[in-house]
Chains A and B, each alone.
Chain A
């Protein structure tokens, strides 16, 4: 039986992508979850996984082509009627590794209209650097014929940063237009959590150290399990609670812009396992190597503005989600405890949530649940 492999949606702010390369050729046997294509989007290059087992029959969209979300990219013979893959084709696909390239170099390549597939990297592990791109420009182009057409530009003259800014603006405009937001904030004493964290990190091997954000992510996931109406999606005015909690984390990119990929099955993970995933996710987000499933998966997002920054954030929901938790900096502040003013580590949590699904009373309980878990870090 033939099945269509379509360009998946990658979150609210992406409605098209340019196919950069295929990691499979006709005849290649693929398994659900295999990365079969790389697509350039406003959020950088994304590895796109296939959703089913089968054998790739035909590539419909060629590299260099820009297509909207939902377009059929390839045809697949799925189990039940699958011809044996030809060994030569499978071998060719294995060799089709993806060139490592820094986002800065990718941006420069786009500006200069250089095809990255034709470059040899001189950076760490053969990664293509800005210098490699610029060197290509100063040498005669004909000396190195390109095997692939250059990726199409979305808009003439628009840089990657500008396109990402436009994508964020479009998604946030939609959010503010469609979602009746309400906002709550709750300031709490997190000294117990920071003390617990410092003790854990002093005793743990370096690879098992945690960041405060890991505690927050775990506390949010726990609260989502206890109270309905915050972890899910609202489509066409109908809310559906997600069966599993996947907390997305807003990651700022150094060149500007941000992405919010998910830590899958957040509530089921130990703090150390969650931290491992969180670290890997941030590194890949900044390297421009996220997977399509991670971008589409979040059921709720945490936006944390980091160390020595602002006191609080008033977060905007990313549709089709219905809630977003914000965290300001953990700071030393005077605090009243048992009638005395004492210095404590203080954090302001905030919530942006959707009035179509919940109201402020439930939202307040939700923030209180997160706070309860944070003050008992040992039980996370």
Chain B
């Protein structure tokens, strides 16, 4: 998967677990928490979706690396 494909895939998963987030408004460089009040429940759901759809198991200790779309792509790219 190239960078753009991965970013699109992550965005799809994000709006699947947070259906009240409009994907068109996501700013890649800003933390989800700052943009949409992402909380620990969202982060857990996101980790579960990443595992199910991309086969990547993100340890709880590394959740901070999923904080924004840019960070997700950087973290997930070598693993997918």
Q: Is B28 an interface residue (CB 8 A)?
A: no
Q: Which of A73-81, A281-289, A352-360 contacts B (4 or more CB under 8 A)?
A: A281-289
Nearest CB in chain B: distance from A104 CB, A: 5
The answer to whether A202 and B22 touch across the interface, beta carbons within 8 angstroms, is no
Chain B: interface residue total (CB-CB under 8 A): 27
The answer to whether A307 and B39 touch across the interface, beta carbons within 8 angstroms, is yes
The answer to whether A123 and B47 touch across the interface, beta carbons within 8 angstroms, is no
Q: How many A-B residue pairs have CB under 8 A?
A: 73
The answer to whether A287 and B20 touch across the interface, beta carbons within 8 angstroms, is yes
Within 8 A of B (CB), among A240-256: 252-255
Cα A195 to Cα B12 in complex, Å, equals 34
Within 8 A of A (CB), among B1-41: 12, 15-24, 36-37, 39-41
The answer to whether A254 and B15 touch across the interface, beta carbons within 8 angstroms, is no
0/1 per residue, B56-67, Cβ < 8 Å to A?
Answer: 011111000000
Within 8 A of B (CB), among A180-203: 198, 201-202
Cα A282 to Cα B39 in complex, Å, equals 11
For the side of the interface on A, what is the size category? 35 or more
**Main secondary structure on A side of the interface with B:** helix
With A202-B60, A206-B58, A211-B44 as given contacts, are A123 and B18 in contact (CB-CB < 8 Å)?
Answer: no
Q: Is A165 an interface residue (CB 8 A)?
A: no
Contacts of A201 in B (CB 8 A): 60
Report B's interface with A, CB cutoff 8 A.
12, 15-24, 36-37, 39-41, 44-45, 47-48, 51-52, 57-61
